Amino acid sequence: MEEVPGVDRVWVGDITYLPAREGWLYLAVVLDLKSRAVVGWQAQNSLEASLATDALARAVWSRRPAAGLLFHSDRGVQYSCAEYRALLQQHGIVCSMSRKGNCWDNAVAESFFATLEKELVQGADWQTHEQARRDLFEFIEIWYNRQRRHSSLGYRTPAEFEAELALAPRAA
């Protein structure tokens, strides 16, 4: 974790899809690379650019990062479209994209999706997208960010880890 100097310095984003009886529900997430917190997310029934732009807009609104934040994603059309790049530029966010075929660059997002699959999606039988969205809210905002302990954070939650980081300069 030492390679990233603090929270809201490097974010990573990716998209996955979730099964519901209504059809696929697509989920875009933005994670902080230092704390592993999901800082923005959006779920909708299409893969339009708004899926990714809305997730990023939520992250920016809730975190208010300083200019120069690095945002890393794959080369998907949602991340390379004009709307997304304009949103990055508007907030002074630096764009970083994986090389073609290099899945390791997005490992933190892929790890989050593996956790989501194992801890929420497996065994779920969502009738509607709305049911899935409610469960996603509870999983991300309540469980994952505030209660689930992460081995990469010394078995602290993202919220605990960030709180400790915020107090560290005052204690010194």
pLDDT tens, residue by residue, 48-104: 999 999 999 999 999 999 999 999 998 889 999 999 999 999 999 999 886 665 555
Largest CA distance in the chain: 54
End-to-end CA distance of the chain: 20
For the segment 53-68, what is each residue's pLDDT rounded down to a tens digit? 999 999 999 999 999 9
Q: How confident is the model at residue 128 (pLDDT cuts 50, 70, 90)?
A: very high
Which one, of 117, 43, 46, 103, lies nearest residue 73 by Cα?
103
Q: Transcribe the chain into DSSP letters.
A: -TTS-STTSEEEEEEEEE--TTS-EEEEEEEETTT--EEEEEEESS-SHHHHHHHHHHHHHHH-PPTT-EEEE---HHHHSHHHHHHHHHTTPEEEEPPTT-GGGGHHHHHHHHHHIIIIITT---SSHHHHHHHHHIIIIIIIHHT--BGGGTSB-HHHHHHHHHHHHHH-
- Predicted TM-score of the model (pTM): 0.91
